Amino acid sequence: MEQKQGRRLVLFPLPLQGHINPMLELANILHSRGFYITVIHTNFNSPNPSNYPNFTFHSFPDGLSQTEASTNDIPSLLLHLNTKCVQPFKECLATLISVASEEPYTCLISDGLFHFTQAVADSFKLPRVVLRTAGASSFAVFTAFPLLLEKDYFPIQDSRLEEAVIELPFLKVKDLPTMSTRNPEKFFELLTTMISATKASSGIIWNTFEDLEQPALDLLKKQLCVPLFSIGPFHKYNSAISSGSLLTEDKSSISWLDTQPPKSVVYVSFGSIAATSEAEFLEIAWGLANSEQPFLWVVRPWSVSGAEWLELLPKGFIENLGGRGHIVKWAPQKEVLAHVSVGAFWTHNGWNSTLESICEGVPMICMPCFSDQKVNAVYVSRVWKVGFQLENGKLERGEIEQNIRKLMKAKEGEEIRCRASKLKEKSLSCLKQGGSSYQSLDSLVSHILSLESFSFPAKS
Ligand code: UDX
């Protein structure tokens, strides 16, 4: 622990797994740099405070109905959160800062998608720093949406899917980061509001590193005109930090991996939101089984439509694998990816999964589902070349089997593995003294300390 800065930061994560993890990792990083941490969170998907004894937690009722909270329509959920949280968040913040504290509140750090917090912070004259939990390259694509709308790329037409997007390097029309929603116009509105609130902030923290996303970071620096701090990968600062998992991690994942040969296992997980149809689930199962490669597969409860968990698997499927496959509801993913037996990650390319895989040098088979995942998959396969894409339309057992073999056995796989291990080195060296993220964190700390805030009542 470094010397105390005598300042307190208020952090407000978006209540989704892929956003809670990086916010709590950031909290740990800033705490280790001497800041006191208060976390405000919604009752919905609340993190477990007992995993973080050094932080103070305050929750508020978010007012989401059961239907709103359990929807798969993420843009609609974000819309509700940005509307329903305004008043209770404001009240929670007001209560906190009205009480005299040993340490003055210096700033609010809130998720980029919680755009309403900019106006709330302004109303309290409290500076707001944004945490973007996804990558910079995908954000750069979002900032180009007004131009793409003007050029008639949206709504996306099936006949244009393979066309290159000339305004954006590397992307084809099918890679544009859209999301299926009942309110497509609201999705665009959400992005526009998110971007303008981000521009009005006092700075942006990114869970990325310069060597990985330099071009996008340079572009955004010019476009957004606020200080950027790329201090990632967050989870590599301290390997002993607590897990922010909302589901229980099944530790049998690790004991099973211990029994497998080095670099042999295909780890399969599609994050915390993506869902599959019954037909897709069966193709995945048979593709994995037919690949003859050991696999560890995360199937979240209720993530396969029409099934609670594995009941759609054919009778005897697991027994017939003879121990070659292990299926869990939720895995300790970072530990899994760092395990010597893991040789590949079949992923949906959520930003956290992508970064976690890069940091362990694990090559990826990419199957993006929506939003930034599509851009991340393009960068993994066409820019960094540490994986390749399994096209969504081709979720078919023969295709899966062939792709797994290509990565695990063919020359192409060897080259990908080699590039992945070089990128891993870069992801670690940026955190060392003098490295880009190390320096960026120093700048972030100085920046926070320099912020002109109301400096809410310190005890006299
Ligand atoms: C969401 C969006 O889908 C993604 O596009 C965006 O970049 C972040 O928010 P999610 O789908 O959950 O995230 O994916 P991801 O970003 O990969 O985050 C999942 C997190 O859960 C990772 O930190 C991963 O380590 C963890 N995880 C996942 C587990 O701990 N165990 C598991 O079994 C699966």
Each residue's pLDDT tens digit, 68-127: 998 889 999 999 999 999 999 999 999 999 887 788 899 999 999 999 999 999 999 999
φ, ψ of residue 32 in degrees (nearest 5): -70, -15
Q: Terminus-to-terminus CA distance in the chain, angstroms?
A: 26
State in Å: Cα 100 to ligand 1 middle: 38
Q: Is the pLDDT of residue 456 over 60?
A: no
With contact defined as beta carbons under 8 Å apart, do 317 and 285 qualify? yes
Domains, the chain, with CATH or none: 8-237+432-453 (3.40.50.2000), 252-427 (3.40.50.2000)
pLDDT tens digits, one per residue of 279-292 = 999 999 999 999 99
How far, in Å, from the CA of 274 to the mean position of ligand 1?
10
Q: Looking at residue 297, what is its pLDDT?
A: 98
Residue 34 C-beta-side C-alpha neighbours within 13 Å = 13
Which residue has the CA at smallest separation from atom 2 of ligand 1?
350
269: left (phi over 0), alpha (psi -120 to 50) or beta: beta
Please classify residue 242 by burial: count the beta carbons closer than 10 Å to its beta carbon, then call 0-12 exposed, 13-18 middle and 19+ buried: middle
Interval 248-263 mean pLDDT: 98
The atom of ligand 1 lying closest to the CA of 243 is 30
Grouping H, G, I as helix, E, B as strand and the rest as coil, residue 113 is coil
Q: How far apart are alpha carbons 63 and 86 in whole angstroms?
A: 11
- Mean pLDDT in residue range 364-369: 96
Q: Are 217 and 210 in contact (CB under 8 A)?
A: yes
Beta bridge partners of 41: 59
Q: Whose CA is nearest to atom 3 of ligand 1?
A: 350
Rounded Cα gap, residues 422 and 297, in angstroms: 26
User: Is pLDDT at 183 greater than 90 in this prediction?
Assistant: no
> Which carries the bigger pLDDT value, residue 256 or residue 102?
256
Pocket test for ligand 1, best of 270, 272, 369 (most atoms within 8 A of CB): 272
Exposed/middle/buried for residue 420 (C-beta within 10 Å: 0-12, 13-18, 19+): buried
Give me the pLDDT at residue 376, please.
98
Distance CA 410, CA 395 (A): 21
The stretch 209-234 carries a mean pLDDT of 98
String of DSSP letters for 361-381: T--EEE---STHHHHHHHIII
State the Cα–Cα distance between residues 293 and 296, nearest whole angstrom: 10
Residue ranges around ligand 1 (CB below 6 Å): 16-19, 21, 133-134, 245, 269, 271-274, 298, 330-331, 333-334, 350-353, 356, 371-373
Q: Which atom of ligand 1 is nearest to the CA of 331?
A: 33
Cα distance between residue 269 and residue 38, in whole Å: 32
* Mean pLDDT, the chain, whole residue set: 94
Q: In a mutational test of the pocket of ligand 1, which residue from 333, 336, 362 has the highest number of ligand atoms less than 8 Å from its CB?
A: 333
pLDDT at 6: 86
Q: What is the pLDDT of residue 453?
A: 59
Give the Cα separation of 28 and 35 in Å (integer): 9
φ, ψ at 230 (rounded to 5°): -95, 100
